[in-house]
Amino acid sequence: MAMSMALRRLSSTSNTSIRPLFNGGSFYPMYSVSSQAAVEKDRSRVNWIKQLNEPLEAVDPEIADIIELEKARQWKGLELIPSENFTSVSVMQAVGSVMTNKYSEGYPGARYYGGNEYIDMAELLCQKRALEAFRLDPTKWGVNVQSLSGSPANFQAYTALLKPHERIMALDLPHGGHLSHGYQTDTKKISAVSIFFETMPYRLDESTGYIDYDQLEKSAALFRPKLIVAGASAYARLYDYARIRKVCDKQKAIMLADMAHISGLVAAGVIPSPFEYADIVTTTTHKSLRGPRGAMIFYRKGVKEINKQGKEVSFGLSYL
């Protein structure tokens, strides 16, 4: 919900002199004015492009009908897919706003195109709220809020941190893992992650239904991964983040926690948080956070340790 709330608050705190421009169904005024009377005067002189200001049902009734059918399907059925979302009207208003018109390649204050001052405001506010939602210190954590969904967010993290064909360990897909963690079969590399990187799964102890941490540690000692993923899409138990942190420390591996399916519970404080142990944390925004479709990459900042020479060693993750 962080992304949606960022845009919603930005809208509510905008200069009131421009708000009348968007009343009465018109989204494309010619220029800014300072009063409602001036707006009406300008409207009388302007031939608005009809299609830009007509509702969807008037412009494309076929698509409008399909959307209504989907709305009815969602409200009349009982949704049993845990990762599906029921977002709010305010979120849909935010993602359907004039923000969609703007190219915003780059980061706040460093865009490729001009005219991004309000995009920057929204993105910075979104980052601030994302950190607040998980009770994170902004001097110790940063967050990238630009990812389109969870799988690209994970792949972006891997490619930022690893070289091609470096090694990743993650929970096996048939044991509750996710495709974006590098799943492959004995005969075929299924995901792009398994093509670009060498991957090895860890699994459950099938007699208990819990992750076999002892075997994970043994496998890591042999495989020597550069990164270990702590996260799942269909694992009904809590992760022992402290145990995986110890394995990562032994192998000098990066710990990435993928909390996409449980981030709402983490934000609410009802299950353990991975932030105490992980170097990188990824999550979607459209599952239990109830926001628009998207994802976030949290990363540690600042000093990681003091080396033997007495020099500070940073986490070096800020380029995410």
Residue 149: DSSP 8-state: S
245 is catalytic: no
- Given the residues 87, 258, 282, 283, select the one marked as catalytic: 258
- Given the residues 128, 203, 243, 293, select the one marked as catalytic: 293
- Given the residues 65, 73, 79, 103, select the one marked as catalytic: 103
Under 8 Å between Cβ of 132 and 157: no
The string of DSSP letters for 213-266 reads HHHHHHHHHHH--SEEEEE-SS--S---HHHHHHHHHHHTPEEEEE-TTTHHHH
Give CA separation, 271 vs 81, 217, 264, in Å. 21, 24, 10
105 is catalytic: yes
Measured between alpha carbons, how far is 39 from 34 in angstroms, rounded to an integer?
A: 8
The string of DSSP letters for 87-128 reads --HHHHHHHTSGGGG----EETTEESSS--HHHHHHHHHHHH
Measured between alpha carbons, how far is 180 from 182 in angstroms, rounded to an integer?
A: 5
Q: Nearest-CA neighbor of 300 among 136, 110, 109, 123?
A: 136
Q: Virtual CA dihedral for 68, 72, 73, 79, nearest 10 degrees?
A: 130
Measured between alpha carbons, how far is 235 from 198 in angstroms, rounded to an integer?
A: 23
For 101, phi then psi, to 5°, come to: -75, -15
172 is catalytic: no
- Given the residues 284, 285, 299, 300, select the one marked as catalytic: 284
Q: Which two tokens stand for residue 57?
A: 């049902």
- Given the residues 8, 226, 287, 300, select the one marked as catalytic: 287
117 is catalytic: no
- Given the residues 105, 132, 214, 249, select the one marked as catalytic: 105
The residues carrying an active-site annotation are 103, 105, 258, 284, 287, 293
